[in-house]
Amino acid sequence: MKIPDNLKYTNDHEWVKVEGSTGIIGITDYAQGELGDVVFIDIDSSLKEIKKGQSFGTIEAVKTVSDIYGPFSGKVIEINSKLSESPEVINTDPYKEGWMVKAEISNPSELDGLLDSNAYKKLIGQ
Task: For residue 13, give Cα distances in angstroms to 20, 45, 62.
Answer: 22, 22, 18
CA distance 119 to 68: 20
> For the chain, how many structural domains are there in total?
1
Length of the chain: 126
At 83 the three-state DSSP class reads helix
CA distance 10 to 71: 7
pTM to 2 decimal places? 0.94
Note whether residue 54 is domain-resident. yes
Note whether residue 97 is domain-resident. yes
Q: Which domain holds residue 27?
A: 8-105
Note whether residue 118 is domain-resident. no
Average pLDDT of the segment spanning 89-113: 96
pLDDT in tens, 8-66: 999 999 999 999 999 999 999 999 999 999 999 999 989 999 999 999 999 999 989 99
Task: For residue 51, give Cα distances in angstroms to 6, 21, 43, 57, 69.
Answer: 23, 16, 14, 12, 8
HSE, side-chain direction, 13 A CA sphere, residue 84: 9
The domain spanning residue 37 has which CATH number?
Answer: 2.40.50.100
pLDDT reported for residue 106: 97
Confidence of residue 1 (pLDDT cuts 50, 70, 90): confident
